[in-house]
A and B are shown apart, each in its own frame.
Chain A
Amino acid sequence: GQNIDQPTEMTATEGAIVQINCTYQTSGFNGLFWYQQHAGEAPTFLSYNVLDGLEEKGRFSSFLSRSKGYSYLLLKELQMKDSASYLCAVIPGGSARQLTFGSGTQLTVLP
């Protein structure tokens, strides 16, 4: 089966940096996504990693190590609007290219 682990909750202060970790054990690997989901809303795409290394996009960066089955999402200069759930999702092996989601990390940004 597929297994994706991420912390349930994190708290950080406005203006700070926070790192959300994700570890995965899947049968094969075809890419890893991070999504942001505000309460009661649909997930929105943040980043995609398929090769090892760091992908930077503005205040958000995502890192992948395939050999360790590990990724993290780094959020810099935190803003109140960044309070949301952050979902790690993996495309396992196979041709269907389906996403398997973790349970999400609820981030609360405090003033």
Chain B
Amino acid sequence: EAEVAQSPRYKITEKSQAVAFWCDPISGHATLYWYRQILGQGPELLVQFQDESVVDDSQLPKDRFSAERLKGVDSTLKIQPAELGDSAMYLCASSPRRDRGLNEQYFGPGTRLTVT
């Protein structure tokens, strides 16, 4: 069964350092999402890509976060510099290109980031 891949699974970094997370969506899925989930809360959308283009990055703190999906396949999310409040689970999800109906998002295993 096809899955969304993410790496690393866990990352511990010191504040002010740079971190990067990688996501490989399910083959053929046009839409890719990055979410941040703080413990005890639901996932919060950071950025949405349709192929290689950004559809929505309104919730992405652009002073320190960046995301790219250069060839419309895999994607990288970067934080520079990391802050203590960035400690969270970073989830990647992908979905097929559908304009209506069930457009189920498939989630990767996530990257657990701890900033010390």
Contact = CB atoms under 8 A, between A and B. Distances in A.
A101 B59 CA distance: 14
B107 A97 contact: no
A78 B78 CA distance: 41
A96 B55 contact: yes
Contacts of B62: none
B80 interface: no
Residue among B33, B43, B102 with max Cβ neighbours from chain A (10 Å) = B43
Contacts of A41: 109-110
Contacts of A42: 91, 107-110
Interface string A40-61: 1111110010100000000000
A40 to B, nearest CB: 7
Nearest to A43: B107
Interface residues on B, range: 20 to 34
Interface string B66-101: 000000000000000000000000010000001111
A45 to B, nearest CB: 5
- Among B40, B45, B103, the most chain A Cβ lie within 10 Å of the Cβ of B103
Contacts of B31: 97
A98 interface: yes
Given A44-B107, A96-B55, 20 more contacts: A30-B100, A31-B103, A40-B112, A41-B109, A42-B108, A42-B110, A45-B105, A50-B101, A87-B42, A87-B43, A97-B98, A97-B99, A98-B33, A98-B45, A98-B48, A99-B33, A99-B45, A100-B45, A103-B40, A104-B40
Interface of B: 31, 33, 40-45, 48, 55-56, 91, 98-110, 112
Interface of A: 4, 30-31, 33, 40-45, 48, 50, 87, 89, 91, 95-104
